[in-house]
Amino acid sequence: MKRILLLCCFALPSLTIAQDDWQSIFDGKTLSGWDGNPKFWNVEDGALTGTTTKDNPTEGNTFALWTGGEPGDFELKLKYKIVGGNSGIQYRSFKLPKGSDRWRLGGYQADIDSADTYSGILYGEQFRGILANRGLITTLGEDGKPTTVGTLGDSKAIQEHIKKEDWNDYHIIAKGNVLKHFINGVQTSECTDNDTDARRSTGLLGLQLHAGPPMTVQFKDIMIQQAGSKTVAAGDNPAAKGKKAKASKATAQAKPKKKDAPALASEARDFTIQITPNGGFILRSQPLTAEAMKEALAALKQVNPEATIRIQAGKQGSKEHAKAVRTAAKEAGVQVKERKNKRKK
């Protein structure tokens, strides 16, 4: 059998979702649909704006909560600008029972930082701490502790794509127990949460105003796409609070061994994907058209733009099968390096 080594040194179209599937959840004029402490939150210049000053500080972190539901599987896109301090986007979150006001949340957070360290990480607000630092792919075990299983790039290099005191694009993808963050089109972190006691499959959405020095954070063009009805995976605890929820492990899911294939719109659906230890990909394919090949590679490029991708024409692939895959790859504009598979006798 022949194998084809494909190097990601090319530009590919990214997979997009039809604009009609997205819902705007901020009208740019009022706080309709949002609930936050009026001492800190208002609308300025078409943006949902949170501000603290020396004379008007917040006692602890406070949030503007979206009142439109508790998303499960979803994608969220928005623009943000921060001057001073720290902020974040809470999702699959829960209200904290204690605090100096009623706008307190815990749960997953897509971090925002006016400095150079935390923007793009996955943080657990009152919920297990840092879950994935910037530039890393992690998994959380049953103990809730993160293990690095791959990389997305150097943290300082990713920071160079983030604009200071200017508008940036944030994109969050939460599908099942896999959580991904992107800023300005660059993936910043990814986490697979296998902690069945504490992980959350639905919850509140909110925007953070952090306690501490005076700061201003603004959000606009807030769009969400939700994946149908909300479901709770076996072993998940959507009402988990604090560092660790005490739930039964009797219905805990088996730990996934392979990454699900990206959702595609054509015959490119018919393949499986494995992640190699160095963060690359092995794609075991059926014969694909050039267009389907482009879709498959674009989906993988979105996950890790710098990964090496090896396409195999199936374990029992014929020479004709391998040739068909190789031809489609070339037509897709991919540099193909051919090598023979040497089997041990």
- pLDDT at position 32 is 97
For residues 212 and 268, state if they share a domain: no
* Average pLDDT score over residue span 213-236: 76
- pLDDT at position 255 is 33
For residues 203 and 282, state if they share a domain: no
CA distance 43 to 53: 17
For residues 219 and 332, state if they share a domain: no
**Band of the pLDDT at 91, cuts 50, 70, 90?**
very high
For residues 190 and 266, state if they share a domain: no
Asked if residues 181 and 124 have their Cβ atoms less than 8 Å apart, the reply is: no
For residues 40 and 7, state if they share a domain: no
For residues 131 and 183, state if they share a domain: yes
CA distance 124 to 108: 5
For residues 207 and 269, state if they share a domain: no
Segment 250-272, tens digit of pLDDT:
323 333 333 444 444 444 444 55
> For residue 75, which phi and psi values (nearest 5 degrees)?
-125, 140
CA distance 289 to 185: 27
For residues 7 and 70, state if they share a domain: no
Last residue of a domain, one of 174, 209, 226: 226
pLDDT at residue 9 greater than cutoff 70: no
> Is residue 69 one of the residues assigned to a domain?
yes
> Is residue 239 one of the residues assigned to a domain?
no
- pLDDT at position 295 is 74
Segment 290-302, tens digit of pLDDT:
777 777 777 776 6
> Is residue 238 one of the residues assigned to a domain?
no
> Is residue 235 one of the residues assigned to a domain?
no
* Average pLDDT score over residue span 61-88: 97
Segment 225-236, tens digit of pLDDT:
998 434 333 345
| CATH code of the domain in which 62 resides | 2.60.120.560
For residues 56 and 164, state if they share a domain: yes
For residues 222 and 296, state if they share a domain: no
> Is residue 25 one of the residues assigned to a domain?
no
Higher pLDDT pick, 329 / 74: 74
> Is residue 242 one of the residues assigned to a domain?
no
Tokens at 228, concatenated: 């149908």
pLDDT at residue 3 greater than cutoff 90: no
| Number of domains, the chain | 2
Could you tell me the residue range of the domain that residue 305 belongs to? Answer: 2-13+257-340
pLDDT at residue 333 greater than cutoff 90: no
Segment 93-149, tens digit of pLDDT:
999 998 778 999 999 999 999 999 999 999 999 999 999 999 999 999 999 999 999
> pTM of the predicted model, to two decimals?
0.64
Last residue of a domain, one of 226, 249, 280: 226
